[in-house]
Structure 1
Amino acid sequence: MEVTNVETIPISMSLPEGEGVGDARGFGRTRATTLLRIETDDGTVGWGEAFAPGSIVAATIDELFRDRVVGMDPFDVESLADESYTDPYHFGGSVFVQSCVSAIDVALWDIIGKTVGRPVHRLLGGTECRTLTPYASTMYFTDAERPLERPVEEAVDEGFTAAKIKIGSGVEDDIERVRVAREILGDDARLMVDMNGNYRPRQAVKTAKAIEKYDITWIEEPVPPENESGYREVKSRIDTPIAAGEAHYGRFAFKRLVDDRAVDIVQPNLGRCGGFSEARLIADMATTENVAVRPHIWNSGVGMAAAVQFAASVSSYPHTRNIPEPMMVEFDRSENPLRSEILETPFDPSGGILDVPQGPGLGISVDRDAVERYRTE
């Protein structure tokens, strides 16, 4: 078996003027990503996603990867992540290179799973896993006026038992957003907050201490991702766990987070971190040092499927059944047809349960007509 074709497919969607959603840094109306379709000589098709602009992905794959991947045996997939750091030399640390590696890697694992008839999470070493716990990523900052409590009420109505909300616009506003969310969710639900790196360490610490009484499961990106000393400073001064990783890519960036004890939870995105092969290394590093792993998801349906398969494979070490801490996966509640429409069977988080696809590979079927509707070429 060998790869015969690699196709990049940029897709995007836009919200109407005045209906943008975002975080404390600002609003956005457009969502975009790049799908990758790989086909082999026996007709097997694998899908991946590069969480990066389509024009850059297409150019990077054509320049650096196409000749390497066409003719490749999909079962050699794990060599690709290693080679990306050495050939092309000096480029492996680029976010765009690692995003392309992610897409290729995920698509090849999809092909392997389809070839052997197993879901990817079993191939990665996980035991049988049928469900995960989704958490609603919600209470975004918005262009349009909207009652603060409504997004969380909608999440509760859908059956979510955990939610992550956006904060980071000042301590008083942060307290009010957290207070409202906790009141609606109730005492037993898990509540996470995301500052999106909008604070300096002292500001993050001030908010963290002010909202501690609301039983926060984790604080995400309290300072910018490149501010490594800031992470260490915040972590040394608060008791609430810290999470980060959506803006990190490759094993070496995550190794620094783990080795420096800068975070309690790492959050690789399967469309950026280097794919399944690299994510498995990241998870092994993290769990060896007793750091939790929770994938970041802001992707299309393909990237969602990859994250779900990865999450289903992650070890629960050191926990046993006596500490039933669920593997939680992010499910954003903003409008996203790139997730909800391009799969023949979309993911459904209602009822607080997310099914792990048990079919071979990613366990999904891509709706090519829907993909073409959102294609931007």
Structure 2
Amino acid sequence: MKIVKIQSHVLQYDLPEPLGYSQQYYAKRSAHLVEVTTDEGITGWGECFGPGNVALANKAIVERVIQPLILGMDPMDRDVIWHKVYNLLRDHGQKGMPMQALSGVDIALWDIAGKVAGLPIHKLIGGAHRDHVTVYGYGMMLRPDETADSLAARFVDEAAEIKEMGFAATKMKVGLGPKPDVKLAEAVRRGVGDDFRFMVDANHCYTTSDAFYVGRALQDLDAYWFEEPIAPEDHDGYRELRAGLDINISGGEAEFNRWGWRQILENRGLDIAQPEVCALGGISEYLRVLALCHAHFTPVTNHVWGSDIAVAVNLQLLAAMPPMPGGLHPWEPMLEFDTTHNHFRDDLLEDPLDIAGQVKTTNGTVTIPDKPGIGVTPNTDFISEFEIT
């Protein structure tokens, strides 16, 4: 079997209303899918992290840089392919967009391997430790036309709605500044009540001192984790926050490959690791990062962003994740699910995952797809409708 073509599909549409997080507002939803075709007619699908113009730049890397390096190679030799591409691109960036582009290709190769074997990816990894995964719904995003007070009122209602939808927990965004952000967190706590788990995602917007201010308030609100409170490069700051706050410090979505993750984990700055498989180097590298996390006794809850391709891949990985540290009632990972408007989550697949529908009827959990590969197939007519060049 040989690779004969690699094609990127960047999808985009206008959102009904702009959404935001601490770094920016955006009015378009994007997704970047990768399609790897073989001479035996087996096609694999993957996804690259990164929206908008980043996706267009990654499309060029996938098609014009990576494709020429691996055309004609056996797609089953995915580890050989991974290291060939990484080694030849090392001089041009060991992190960032080259790794995002490689991630989508690697995921597609795993999809092909599963289809060749007739097995879901979790079987290729070593089997499923669980046949269902708990899901948390994130929402409560910023809006460019709303004040802190109007956002707080919205967050109360939206948090209550996500709880009512059946999700086991919820996550909010912050980014207005330390004091208004605390008010937003207080609003979410009011919305979900005292006994419901909620998390706070800062997208690295604070200084260390401001993160301590917000973190202490989140402790009092019994928030479960404080995600990316400061810049991902500030390893010392993460260690200080973890040592000084009684709330889980999480992060890692902006880190790449095993070497970057080794530095984070040896620094002991995270209570919960959040690797992003569509960015850090694909499934091949994710498994090495997962092993490093568990070697440092750091539990993992994957970061998930993008289309239902990314969701399906993460379901496979969460199924195959060993319990850490084990026991009758071990710490369990959760699936992150975006509850905001997303055609690429709801309408992309020939057979939709229907995460929201499953959550509503199963007490906040979803089952693991058991079809070969990543377990899902995108609708090519839908891709054609939303693809941009």
Query: In the alignment, what sits opposite 1:132?
Result: 133
Cα-to-partner distance string for 1:204-263 (whole Å, 9 max, x where unaligned): 011111120222221100001122222222222212111112211222111111111121
Q: 2:19 — aligned with what?
A: 21
Structure 2 counterpart of 1:330: 336
Q: Taking structure 1 as reference, are residues 73 and 177 closer, same or farther at Cα in structure 2, changes over 3 Å only?
A: same
Aligned to 2:231: 224
Residues 8, 63 of structure 2: 8 Å contact kept: no
> How many residues are paired up?
374
1:139–1:151 Cα contact (<8 Å) kept: yes
1:295 paired residue number? 302
Aligned to 1:141: 142
Q: Which moved more, 1:301-310 or 1:140-149?
A: 140-149
What does residue 31 of structure 2 align with?
33
Kept in 2, the 8 Å contact 1:4–1:71? The answer is yes
One-letter code of the match for 1:139? M
Amino acid at match of 1:137: Y
Higher deviation after alignment, 349-358 or 203-212: 349-358
Q: In the alignment, residue 45 of structure 2 is paired with which amino acid?
A: W
Instruction: Tell me by how many angstroms 1:109 deviates.
Output: 0.3
Query: Counterpart amino acid of 1:6?
Result: I
Within the alignment, does 1:341 sit opposite 2:347 as a pair? yes
**In the alignment, what sits opposite 1:118?**
119
SS in 1 for 2:384: helix
Paired with 1:172 and 1:29, the residues of 2 have a C-alpha distance of: 27
For the pair 1:7 / 2:40, whether they are aligned, the reply is no
What is the identity, as a one-letter code, of the residue corresponding to 2:340? Answer: S
* Aligned equivalent of 2:47: 49
Contact 2:304 2:311 in 1 (8 A): yes
SS in 1 for 2:335: strand
Shift of 1:157: 1.8
1:125, CA displacement in angstroms? 2.3
- 1:150 CA drift (Å): 1.9
Three-state SS of the structure 1 residue aligned to 2:306 is: coil
Given candidates 367, 373, 376, the residue that maps to 2:379 is 367
Q: Deviations over 1:153-173 (max 9, x none)?
A: 221121012011112323332
SS at match of 2:101: helix
TM-score under structure 2 length normalisation? 0.91
Distance 1:3 1:85 in 2: 18
Contact 1:119–1:358 under 8 Å retained in 2? yes
2:369 aligns with 357
In the alignment, is residue 153 of structure 1 matched against residue 160 of structure 2? yes
CA shift digits 1:159-201 (9 cap, x unpaired): 0120111123233323322222223323332211111111000
Instruction: Work out whether residues 157 and 191 of structure 2, in 8 Å CA contact, stay in contact via their aligned partners in 1.
Output: no
**Distance in 2 of aligned mates of 1:128 and 1:4:** 35
User: Is the partner of 2:203 in helix, strand or coil?
Assistant: coil
Letter in 1 for 2:107: V
Higher helix share: 2
Asked if the contact 1:85–1:91 (Cα under 8 Å) also holds between the matched residues in 2, the reply is: no
Aligned partner of residue 20 in structure 1, secondary structure:
strand
Unmatched runs of 5 consecutive residues or more in structure 2: none
CA-CA distance at 1:80 after TM superposition: 2.9
Contact 1:312-1:356 at 8 Å conserved across structures: yes
Offset at residue 111 of structure 1 (A): 0.6
Which of residues 247, 253, 256 in structure 1 aligns to 2:263? 256
**Which amino acid in structure 1 is aligned with residue 48 of structure 2?**
A
Does 2:205 correspond to 1:198? Answer: yes
Q: Give secondary structure in 2 for the equivalent of 1:216.
A: coil
**CA distance, structure 2, for counterparts of residue 31 and residue 291 of structure 1:** 32
- Determine the C-alpha separation between the residues in 2 that align with 1:300 and 1:21: 17
CA–CA separation in structure 2 for the residues paired with 1:46 and 1:159: 33
| Worse-superposed segment, 78-87 or 248-257 | 78-87
* Deviation larger for 227-236 or 156-165: 227-236
- TM-score if structure 1 supplies the norm length? 0.94
Deviates more, 1:297-306 or 1:76-85: 76-85
For 1:340 and 1:181, how far apart are their aligned partners in 2? 26
Amino acid paired to 1:207: V
User: 8 Å contact 2:250–2:270 — kept in the other structure?
Assistant: yes
Structure 2 CA distance, aligned partners of 1:25 and 1:37? 31
Structure-2 residue corresponding to 1:84: 85
| CA apart distance, 1:92 | 4.5
Task: Tell me the distance in 2 between the aligned counterparts of 1:213 and 1:60.
Answer: 46
